[in-house]
A and B are shown apart, each in its own frame.
Chain A
Amino acid sequence: MNNKTRTPLFHVSKRGLLPWYKAWAIRAAALLLALVACGVITSLVTGQNPIQVYAAIINGSFGSPRKIWVLLQNIAMLLCVSLAVTPAFRMRCWNLGAEGQALIGGLAAAACMILLGKTLPNWAVIACMCVASLAAGALWAAIPAVFKARWNTNETLFTLMMNYVATQLVAYYCVVWESPKGSGTIGVINPSTEIGWFPQIGSYKYLLNILIVAIVCVAMYIYLNYSKHGYEIAVVGESERTARYVGIKVDRVIIRTMLLSGAVCGLAGLLLVGSTNHTLTTTIVDGRGFTAVMVSWLAKFNPIWMILTSFLIVFLGRGSGEIATKFGLNRSFGDILTGLILFFIIGSEFFINYQIHFRKSGGKEG
């Protein structure tokens, strides 16, 4: 044979489906490596020993009952936005507009609280808020969806741009409804009458949010895995041509799924305004629309695994915030650590989907 043919050092081939426990073992290993890397970097920057760094991370999330509740609340909100983008992602429709859709939902809720607060009874205001928020979120997602379905407009870029339109719209209303005058912020809405504030369950401020999101999570799991709609979404995601061939109306599925996606984002906005903050700012969604993309993708678009991945992200975020305050670094250190960990996990997907064959040493091939 031709001895001059060079065999490459290794070549890469696609793996068959790995059993789930192996896949998760690889991810866990990546996470572990990432945590070690973060510990080393933090110790280098702060000069503390790594054990103390990890203790601070855990303390940031579980240090006190209040911290645990805040942790749970943040997980719930992130999970809610992640659940919202998931149906669209399963369809391979990259909805990067969750930030804007949730903001618009929040804006609609705040509008109901401010404009109807004086004329309607409390329950009616809350009912209006629910309807308005879901509808507003759905509408915000429907605009790119219609163009995607009808004219195949690129939805990634369209939804991305819609975020900023929503942000400026909220900024506009923040000035219009400012209170006190001249502050440029809305402040707490209806502080004395508490109209439009969601009821507390017992003395737990965040319990209602957590329960609602838990229900949405289970419902989304069932919808995606056991309903006809969920099946249609999966088929469209795998191959649009196949879907068309078997008689699925692709444009209708796209619009319907994006409506659902937007409505759940609107729900997230509603909970943030009506139940958590009782106010509206341009940063109320706090980048969750983008973080949700990573949460959803890390969990392989599976709503139940998403609980785990959103816990992971929130836990790290709060932990690194704690490191920052405790060791006198600035808060952005948390973003660096989160970014690092994401790089590790993103990289680890390669080893789940592909395998590397090294050139057999010694043996003369070909």
Chain B
Amino acid sequence: MFDFISFIPRAVVQGIPLLLGSTGETLTEKSGNLNLGIPGIMYVGAISGVIGSFFYEQSGNFRPLPGILIPLGCCLLGSLLMGLLYCFLTVTLRANQNVTGLALTTFGVGFGNFFGGSLIKLSGSSLPSIILSATSNAFRTSLPAAEKAGVFGRLVLSYGFLAYVAVIIALTVAWVLNRTRVGLHLRAVGENPNTADAAGINVSKYKYIATCTGSMIAGLGGLYYVMDYASGVWANDAFGDRGWLAIALVIFTVWRPNVGVLASFLFGGLYILHMYIPSGMNLAVKELYKMLPYVVTIIVLVLSSLRNKRENQPPASLGLAYFREER
């Protein structure tokens, strides 16, 4: 019998970084910026948080509240800077978005691994990782009711606070995009910046704010991964290809963060499904299971283009720089 009670919480913690990454990327893409730097930004977000909490833990007397706020602040700052860099290059200097994004990913992954490696050296540990257990405990504190509430408690209440924040952020972004004037303007910028400009919307401002906010949300995904999912253990390259999976999730949810809440848990489940296949089966098949999230994404991408419903399409000017004097 497949053990759903232990599977679902693991799928959820696996899904939360993807949810944060894809919410950030959706917000970014709605402004017409295809930010392929998300994997790099998530790395930078994670390592910035790690750096912050590393020095705080080193300084002695650890208290939980600053122990949470310092990494959180560092993470937001690090990913904000990456978002600003991307915006400066693509919006102000109108550089090619694909190239900028890929360069940002190269830079971000290198940045993460370099400072990760340096901190490991500094801590003088024999293992190739940094362990921040105090900070992680603070991040992982769940409601005391979780253990008393039985199955419901394990499935719904057993996560650290960032998981709930992630769901709230996703729902908020969905609400802002679809139900507010700001969201309407933002979507207009992503669909047709010429029209938006003519209507008096400040295109650059919207692009900057959406992309930087999106980067900060995605950076939180990196932080959640290190502090909560990985119990405060940073090892180089451990984050893996989750950043790309987050971009896949954006397509899978057809640019809707509220759908993303459940879809990210589904992706998390698909990502770890290979650990749950019956033992005795060929080991190689595990590798094929890891393909699932990507195959599912491709199918969704193809189906949504086949059905050609207008509300399921990518923003029309996705990936294009806007220059007012160009017609």
Binding site for B on A (CB under 8 A): 12-14, 94, 96, 147, 151-154, 156-158, 160-162, 164-165, 168-169, 171-176, 287, 290-291, 293-294, 297, 329-330, 332-336, 338-340, 342-343, 346-347, 349-350, 353-354
Contact = CB atoms under 8 A, between A and B. Distances in A.
B283 A175 contact: yes
A165 to B, nearest CB: 5
Given A13-B325, A346-B89, A336 B110 contact: yes
Contacts of A291: 106
A94 B98 contact: yes
B87 interface: no
A335 B94 contact: no
Given A332-B114, A339-B103, A349 B95 contact: yes
Chain B CB within 10 Å — which of A147, A152, A333, A336 has the most? A336
Given A332-B114, A335-B113, A165 B306 contact: no
Contacts of B105: 290
Interface stretch (B170-178, B206-214, B292-300): B292-300
Given A334-B110, A335-B110, A343-B103, A176 B98 contact: no
B28 to A, nearest CB: 14
Interface string B98-117: 11101111111111111001
Nearest to B245: A164
A169 B292 CA distance: 11
24 contacts: A14-B323, A94-B98, A147-B305, A154-B318, A156-B98, A160-B247, A161-B294, A164-B294, A165-B294, A165-B298, A168-B294, A169-B291, A175-B282, A293-B98, A293-B102, A297-B96, A329-B117, A330-B117, A333-B110, A334-B110, A336-B110, A338-B107, A346-B95, A350-B94
Interface of B: 34, 36, 85, 89, 93-96, 98-100, 102-114, 117-118, 236, 241, 244, 247-248, 251, 282-288, 290-291, 294-295, 297-298, 301-302, 305-306, 308, 314, 318-319, 323, 325-326
B302 to A, nearest CB: 6
B295 A165 contact: yes
Contacts of A152: 305
Contacts, number: 159
B215 to A, nearest CB: 15
A223 B291 CA distance: 36
A156 B34 contact: yes
Nearest to B306: A151
Given A154-B301, A349-B93, A14 B325 contact: yes
Given A343-B85, A346-B95, A161 B110 contact: no
Contacts of A172: 284-285, 287-288
Nearest to A297: B99
Majority secondary structure, A binding face: helix
Contact of A157 (B111, B236, B251, B308): B251
Contacts of A165: 291, 294-295, 298
Contact of A340 (B99, B107, B247, B308): B107
B110 A339 contact: yes
A346 B96 contact: yes
B287 A330 contact: no
Given A332-B236, A335-B109, 14 more contacts: A14-B326, A147-B302, A151-B305, A152-B305, A156-B98, A165-B294, A291-B106, A330-B118, A335-B110, A338-B106, A339-B108, A343-B103, A346-B89, A347-B89
A151 to B, nearest CB: 5
B118 A342 contact: no
B247 A339 contact: no
A157 B287 contact: no
Contacts of B109: 332, 335
Contact of A350 (B95, B236, B283): B95
B288 A168 contact: yes
The 3 closest A-B pairs by CB, nearest first: A335-B110, A339-B107, A330-B117
B205 to A, nearest CB: 15
B305 A153 contact: yes
Given A164-B291, A172-B287, A332-B110, A153 B302 contact: yes
Nearest to B120: A330
Nearest to B114: A332
A92 B99 CA distance: 13
Contacts of A349: 93, 95-96
B98 A339 contact: no
A175 B99 contact: no
Contacts of A160: 36, 244, 247
B211 to A, nearest CB: 16
A343 B102 CA distance: 11
A101 B298 CA distance: 16
B94 A353 contact: yes
Contacts of B99: 293-294, 297, 342, 346
Given A290-B102, A294-B103, A333-B110, A154 B287 contact: no
A165 B301 CA distance: 15
Nearest to B285: A172
A310 to B, nearest CB: 15
Contacts of A176: 284
Given A156-B319, A171-B287, A171-B290, A347 B95 contact: yes
B93 A347 contact: yes
A161 B267 CA distance: 14
A288 to B, nearest CB: 12
Contacts of B284: 172-173, 175-176
A50 to B, nearest CB: 19
Nearest to A168: B291
Chain A CB within 10 Å — which of B113, B236, B247, B287 has the most? B287
A136 B43 CA distance: 33
Contacts of B286: 175
Given A176-B284, A336-B110, A154 B104 contact: no
Contacts of B36: 96, 160
B249 to A, nearest CB: 11
A348 B42 CA distance: 26
B79 to A, nearest CB: 15
Nearest to B291: A168
A333 B89 contact: no
B48 to A, nearest CB: 14
